[in-house]
Structure 1
């Protein structure tokens, strides 16, 4: 396994975004790809991730600030592609350190004609959605100040509202153009496709210790330490899905770490998704 996020330099750890300072947080996502080099080149060009060497179990390791958090493994040459109707990855969400960084990235995306599938102001964050060359969903986002997150009925309130591009552009100020991903870029959350959102919610609560933050029709959002979500699970295209086919491309595993994890474990969720837990 790759080194946990706590191995990053202490000066960087002190400034980590809120999502990464919680008792449990996303440390790493691994994807199985037919052509890892092409997929890696896409993440380098679109998001500015940097190579951080070879992953301990093989594959290309990408990250920012010297910290690896995206692993690309080679799938079998005859591996079937990901099936959006099956359980698996909905998207990996890359968290930029600030709204200014997101504004810088948006300017870069426009200049490079990067294809955007969707975008939304979620009230707790502002997000842009893309798809990598092998069909894996990608979110690029920045959080609003947690003190400003709206609440309703004792739960966080999230929505799919239009983004105020003028306000976002103003936040960019005179910052330098976006190049390499900022050093404190990390994976903020992972959104999964599942066969039953209620079953997924119960599993993540009982097996990993996450708390339910909010729910939407067909989706549950869970987190540690008051974040808006570290894990989401939806049935929007996969309702009733059975166990995953491990031979397909797509999500290989998701790893979480943090001080609330007492021992190293490897679990399987009810659909066979590999979840690794690492103490920090």
Structure 2
């Protein structure tokens, strides 16, 4: 009996990170990205927009940055609802003097920065799906310059950035991995994602026809060491499915492939071949 594919209505939940200084990180994420504090419990801080946690920070006092060539987080990507929102955020970032990278990926327009612990961040907007170009099941993406003037002009001079809009979501997560062949076998053959793009040293996978839910690359980490347990690093990425049956289906796929996993209540957790922890829940 064939196990059904991964549910197409998967959504990405919050990303959990360990950081060195909770007060410093809380200030950065509120000031730079406009995230709101949703809950704090001792050394654990939950940030996001009303009703939607996007980031969970765990303080590990004085933790050093993880090596750039360790498997782990390359960046997490916050998807803003509109191009105007992205333009307003860009002007806000410029006023703060934030150092940004930028790229027009054809399916999206994206800006890149790092938090105080070196965790990579992308802030982006999607072009309408009707503008995405597909060929033989793969979506066309690029790294072209953004039309900054057009982006800013669309944002509206009289509408300042007032924080992350309520429609902001975790759009995708990009991970550093060691072995692309093993990674592809796990994310597609075991979990049931679809390959939607291949670049030299990188793989992009999704469900439901999205341009990518996960980016996976070996650009720096193919022969890199594991991050120290004491370092500031990716702790977990959450994936949300629409119902218990969809989570149970993932359990079945893992059992069939004889991949170790854990179940704790309604949470199913598994590590990819590079050791990145993924947790599925409803």
User: For 1:150-189, what aligned pairs fall within 5 Å after superposition?
Assistant: 150-174=133-157, 176-189=159-172
Matched, 1:276 2:259: no
Aligned equivalents of 2:68 and 2:274: distance in 1? 14
Structure 1, 60-69 or 41-50: larger mean CA deviation:
60-69
Shift of 1:270: 1.2
1:108 is aligned to 2:92: yes
Q: Superposed, which structure 2 residues align to 1:53-202 within 5 Å? A: 53-54=39-40, 59-75=44-60, 77=62, 79-116=63-100, 118-174=101-157, 176-202=159-185
* Partner SS for 1:184: coil
Once the two structures are TM-superposed, the CA of residue 72 in structure 1 deviates from its matched residue by 0.4
> Which structure would you say has the larger Rg?
2
Q: Is the Cα–Cα contact under 8 Å of residues 31 and 252 in structure 1 kept in the other structure? A: yes
Query: CA offsets, 1:155-195, max 9 Å, x none?
Result: 10000001011221232135610011101111111100111
For 1:115 and 1:153, how far apart are their aligned partners in 2? 37
1:267 aligned onto 2:250: no
Normalized against structure 1, the TM-score is what?
0.86
Tell me how far apart the structure 1 counterparts of residues 149 and 52 of structure 2 sit (CA, whole Å): 33
CA distance in 1: counterparts of 2:236 and 2:43, whole angstroms: 14
Specify the SS of the correspondent of 1:28: strand
Matched positions, count: 256
| C-alpha spacing 1:94/1:115, structure 2 compared with 1 (3 Å) | same
Contact 1:198 1:220 in 2 (8 A): no
Gaps of 5+ in 2: 1-6, 249-265
Contact 1:219–1:235 (CA<8 Å) still a contact in 2? yes
- Tell me the residue number matched to 1:46: 32
Does the C-alpha gap of structure 1 residues 265 and 129 become closer, same or farther in structure 2, counting only changes over 3 Å?
same
Q: CA deviation at 1:95?
A: 0.7
In the alignment, the residues of structure 1 paired with residue 125 and residue 158 of structure 2 have an alpha-carbon distance, to the nearest angstrom, of 16
CA distance in 1, matches of 2:178, 2:201: 10
Q: Match of 1:209?
A: 192
Tell me how far apart the structure 1 counterparts of residues 109 and 176 of structure 2 sit (CA, whole Å).
21
Q: Is the 8 A contact 1:224 1:230 kept in 2?
A: yes
Given that 1:104 and 1:175 are in contact with CA atoms closer than 8 Å, whether structure 2 keeps it comes out as no
Deviation readout 1:86-137 (Å, 9 max, x if unpaired): 1011001111111110011111112221221x10000000000001001111
CA RMSD of aligned residues (A): 1.9
